[in-house]
A = this chain, B = another copy of it.
Amino acid sequence: MRYFVAVAEELHFGRAAERLGMAQPPLSRAIKQLERRLGVVLFERDRRGVALTGAGEVLLYEGRAALDATAAAVRRTQRAGGVDAPRSRLVLAVKAAGSHELLQKLLDAYAAVPGAAEIEVLLCGFCDQEGLLRDGRADAALMHTPFNSLAGFDSEELTTEGQIAVLPARHPLAARASLTVAEVADVPGLPLARWPSYGVYPPGPGPEIRDQTQLAQLIALGRTLAVVPDSARAWLWAEHAAIPLIDAPQVVTHIAWPAHSRSLALAGLIRTATECIG
């Protein structure tokens, strides 16, 4: 199954084999055997390249979910039964650039709960909390709609905030009291920054952003402008100007967790979050 996903992603047996740390012939055979077992053709091999069939597309999607689920089972079991498990531990995934106050308030409030589990905060980049939750590296996550999708998770709403445009302080538009999405989408010489949404960068002229520091620098240099949640004001520089966007979608912060999860510790964390924030 891992083999199939690797080949489907690379669309190249040799590279996939290399990525898997094995030789190409066994991989070829394994895939063929998988096709035989399922009774389904997964790849169109027409010399010079490989393509997924319809069934292959389905298996790529479902197979990833299955791999995530098994990885999650392994990780959560190990966390539950490790030698270091006199008391339970929870891993909370948050966006590194997310609101610090919110997180601090949550952690403080939860620490005061009797019998609280130990919380490990897992800071991640732009939008991978969903993957962390799905494959068991995290037990809960702070997610932000509309940037994250809550599909497949249970969640509770915590806070709502507007969005601001961040642009160089010396730019003419910095003097405005407010802006619209249409206005910032089309500023001559100042393209909108792009960051990965669900794993891929949207098309556009702006620079591709990997982290918040890089974004801050690019804005200060007058190379780009960005639309970010209101709480991002916390990390702005003197060289930045923040202008409210009157028609941008509201950003809602949720706490999300895998849809089953009957863990007592997790339930306590969620209750604390909704009570102290929501």
Binding site for B on A (CB under 8 A): 1, 38-42, 53-59, 61-63, 65-66, 68-70, 72-74, 76-78, 80-82, 85, 136, 151-154, 258-260, 262
Contacts and interface: CB of A to CB of B under 8 A. Distances in A.
Contacts of A82: 39-40
Nearest to A149: B259
Contact of A74 (B38, B56, B81, B151): B38
A249 B167 CA distance: 52
Contacts of A56: 81
A260 B70 contact: no
Contacts of A65: 69, 72-73, 260
B39 A58 contact: no
B66 A70 contact: yes
A66 B73 contact: yes
A57 to B, nearest CB: 8
B70 A70 contact: yes
A40 B77 contact: yes
Contact of A70 (B1, B39, B61, B72): B1
A36 to B, nearest CB: 12
Contact of A39 (B40, B78, B151, B154): B78
B40 A78 contact: yes
Highest count of chain B CB atoms <10 Å: which of A68, A73, A153: A73
